[in-house]
Amino acid sequence: MTAVFGHNGPGLLFDDPVFGFPGESLFPVPALDATVDLVNADAGTQEPLVLGIAVQADDSSSATTTTTTTTTTTIDTLLLNHSSSPSPRSQLRKIAPKLTDNHAIAPRAQAGVQKPVVRSKRTPFKTASIRAETSLTRTLNSCVRCRYKITESSLYRTAFHHFEFFRLHPMVGPTYGDFHIKRPWTQNETKVLEFAQDSNIVLKLRVREFIPTAEELSSDDARGNKMYGIPWAIADPDEATRAVNLYTDRCIEAYLDTILDDSNRLVWDIFHWALRLSVFPEPNKLLSNVIRLWVVCRFLEGRWRCSGADALGAEGLSHRYSRNPIVQVPPFINYQMAAVFTERILQPLRVTVLKLLQDLILANKASNWFVITLCVFILLHNCELQCRFHRAFARRRGFPVRFVDMPIIRAIHSSAKTILAHFHYICKGQRPFSPDSNWDSPEMKKMAQLDEEQIFFLKKYQNLVRQKAAALQAVSLTHDYEEEYWFVSQIFDPDWVPRQTNEHSLLA
């Protein structure tokens, strides 16, 4: 915008291609009583702020001769004289053409002209529920819907809140497993211990003896033993992590055979398909990692025993809560093993699995439906086994409630609801496992892109679901979270809604 003085008196020349027409004087400028030359003004003087308006006249007889006059006035004077006039911008909006040419908008962007931000005035809350939601958003520092994302799901326990030692010694984070503590080692000699859980496959870890402090000697574990009664620790957590990964590679099929019942086709067939597609026709990273995560989660459910000749004297440890007499793992080594499982193995797996699953869902491709279904089933089955372990834990120790650590159970429920909501969303309004569903219909083909073998399997699986429909529906409406099918049955519910779950543990 440039001020000019033409034959008709002073005026403002708008050369902005968006809000004005080049070379057109739109409204007059009042006479300027006071002028200040900004070019020649002393920078050190305390003169009032002024607005410089350049006037340029071109001599038509000579293209090389240009005369420039600088005329300025104070901002206060200009605003005062125009206070009663309509806004120039409001007038321009009425007459300015709506240009869509990017080249026409470019000069305005280069000139640094920005559209003013108009903030709407906050209105009162229309309902009490909206007020409550806004309050919750401020408390959580984010919208509720953003907090319930798949990537925020909890898939395993990270602590035992009921026991003091595990509250003070976390299994996740920078201080996991107390590996950050510089131990006074007794000697440089190390030993290799052999451990096993649900199979004869052996996990070998190198351990080292240390001198515990007087304060540490008073700590107890969860079985009534002194935590530092056998003062040996894992010598190198990085080496232990590599050993656990190798152990996992070797024992995946053994864990599936031991824990799953191959006669239960509703569960076994899903794991069989997931295991097959994880390697054929080409490796599927999501399925291979979700199976691996399912297996490593079983590592946190106890049953570890010393299987080698040397047990560091653990033969005399109390096993009053154990179902079968075994040579238990020394308490502090057992705690560090759980910390390695959680922080070094499960945490990266969790991030990878949930990120890949979320990406497949958000891609909204029919070709992803079958893989997503397999992954969701395995994750929900893991939730089921987690609840079953915590129920058995409370029962073995004689607690009067079903679950000791309700924060863990609440996190499991929240994660399961989030995963189920995303699964039913990708079904696009279809009921894939209901008795009246037709896998050959155009609607189902639009939902899921399947080959002939997968369609044949889903038709057979649909019959299995129909045979167990009454039992599946009945168990999903109870609060027996540890019961078989409580979580996975909600995949097959054609009218699924999130289940109401207890915030506090029920009596045993």
DSSP notation for 475-491: HHTSS-TTSTTTTGGGG
* Predicted local distance difference test score (pLDDT) of residue 114: 62
User: Which DSSP helix (H) or strand (E) runs through 363?
Assistant: helix 347-363
Residues contacting 185, CB < 8 A, separation 6+ = 208, 209, 210, 211
Q: Which residue reads 């050190």 in tokens?
A: 44
Instruction: Name the DSSP letter for residue 496.
Output: -
* Predicted local distance difference test score (pLDDT) of residue 24: 43
Tens of pLDDT, residue by residue over 231-258, are 999 999 999 999 999 999 999 999 999 9
Nearest CA to 339 out of 100, 106, 177 is that of 177
Structure tokens at 97: 């053409």
Give the alpha-carbon dihedral of 139, 145, 151, 154, to 10 degrees.
60
Check: CB of residue 457 under 8 Å from CB of residue 269.
yes
* Predicted local distance difference test score (pLDDT) of residue 136: 72
**For residue 27, how many C-alpha atoms fall within 13 Å in the half-sphere facing its CB?**
12
CB neighbours (10 Å) of residue 88?
A: 16
* Predicted local distance difference test score (pLDDT) of residue 87: 52
Q: How wide is the angle at C-alpha 207 spanned by C-alphas 202 and 212, nearest 5°?
A: 140
Pairing outcome for strands 185-196 and 2-6: unpaired
Instruction: Name the DSSP letter for residue 226.
Output: B
The radius of gyration computed from the CA coordinates of the chain, to the nearest angstrom, equals: 36
* Predicted local distance difference test score (pLDDT) of residue 13: 42
Q: What string of DSSP letters covers 23-36? A: TEEEEE--------
* Angle, helix 265-277 to helix 237-259, in steps of 10 degrees: 130
* Predicted local distance difference test score (pLDDT) of residue 124: 85
CA distance 338 to 382: 17
* Predicted local distance difference test score (pLDDT) of residue 167: 84
The residues that bridge with 220 in the sheet, in sequence order, are 226
Nearest CA to 290 out of 272, 266, 274, 267 is that of 274
Check: CB of residue 367 under 8 Å from CB of residue 449.
yes
* Predicted local distance difference test score (pLDDT) of residue 354: 98
Check: CB of residue 496 under 8 Å from CB of residue 420.
yes
Q: Which residue reads 């989660």 in tokens?
A: 297
* Predicted local distance difference test score (pLDDT) of residue 77: 44
Domain ranges of the chain: 2-110
Check: CB of residue 348 under 8 Å from CB of residue 261.
no
* Angle, helix 369-396 to helix 347-363, in steps of 10 degrees: 140
- At residue 70, the 3 state secondary structure works out as strand
| Under-50 pLDDT residues of the chain | 1-85, 88-89, 91-97, 99-109, 144
